[in-house]
Amino acid sequence: MVRGGVHRWLLGRERPERGWKASIRFALWRTGVAFVAEFSSTRNGFPFSHYAYTQATRGDELLLSNIPAFVPTGYTVMIYAGRSIATFLTRSRAGVVIVGAAAATALDLIVDPVSARGSDWFIGHFYQYATPKPWFGVPLANFGGWILAAAAVIALDLLLGRAEPIRESPRGVALAGGVIAFDVMVAFSIGAVGFAVAALGVAGIMGLGLWLVRRRTPVVTERPPS
């Protein structure tokens, strides 16, 4: 790669990842799925298991019913990052759904335990789980819900944008790295050293898997349907 090529690749100037219409569509669909999933889970435990928002921030921030508005918005970061990782491993649409959902869930393995300790840093104690919490305060059923929600968002996005080619999304991978770095830093700062080490292990497995697959299996670009 010529000098400056890495910089241009990271910023997506040589190959735009997605247009603004596709980005808005993804954000809108993601917000809708996230709200429905959150609304359902806080009432019947599906798909993320039983939990409740404490309402401690009522009056201080925007709520959608009983759900803080920033929560569905946060799904954009997680699912976009997961989808971006998938684009480096496959151009198959089914593959992007499966790998993207798994990658988004792996990110939540790092993000959710830190969020659950919100009382130890600035976001505060705004939610709590009611079911057993074997993964550093988070029930395993939560991650099954993440696979379902992320797969639904990515699948419908690909269906609505079926004429759009799937391109590598380097900025999304960089975003995933930023999310991991932030949460690990917070974990260390609040004294959750055991979790911080576990999070680094999850991140290491993700990075190693990405490197191994990319090294052994060249990605073939998918052509848009004629």
Which has more pLDDT, 161 or 2? 161
Q: What does the pLDDT look like over 50-97, one tens digit per residue?
A: 999 988 777 777 888 889 888 988 888 999 999 999 999 998 999 999
Question: 225 lies in a domain?
Answer: no
Exposed (0-12), middle (13-18) or buried (19+): which is 92, by Cβ within 10 Å?
Answer: middle
* pLDDT exceeds cutoff 90 at 107: yes
| Token pair listed for 89 | 């491993």
Q: Residue 1 falls within a domain, yes or no?
A: no
Greater confidence, 213 or 1?
A: 213
Mean pLDDT of the chain: 86
Residue 224 has pLDDT above 70, yes or no: no
Residue 84 lies in a domain: yes
pLDDT at residue number 30: 82
So what's the pLDDT on residue 217? 61
Q: Which residue has the tokens 């920033």?
A: 70
Q: Which helix (H) or strand (E) holds 144?
A: helix 141-160
Give residue 9's pLDDT band: very low, low, confident or very high (50, 70, 90): very low
Residue 130 backbone phi and psi in degrees, to 5: -105, -15
In-domain check, residue 5: no
11 falls within a domain: no
Residue 226 has pLDDT above 80, yes or no: no
**Does any domain span residue 175?**
yes
Counted domains in the chain: 1
CB 146 within 8 A of CB 105: yes
pLDDT above 90 for 14 = no
Cis peptide before 225 (omega within 30 of 0): no
Is pLDDT larger for residue 193 or for residue 63?
A: 193
Domain membership flag for residue 159: yes
Give the pairing type, strands 67-68 and 63-64: antiparallel
Task: Judge whether 28 lies within some domain.
Answer: yes
Q: Out of 8-12, 103-107, 120-124, 177-181, pick the least confident.
A: 8-12
What is the span of the domain harbouring residue 211?
18-216
pLDDT at res. 24: 84
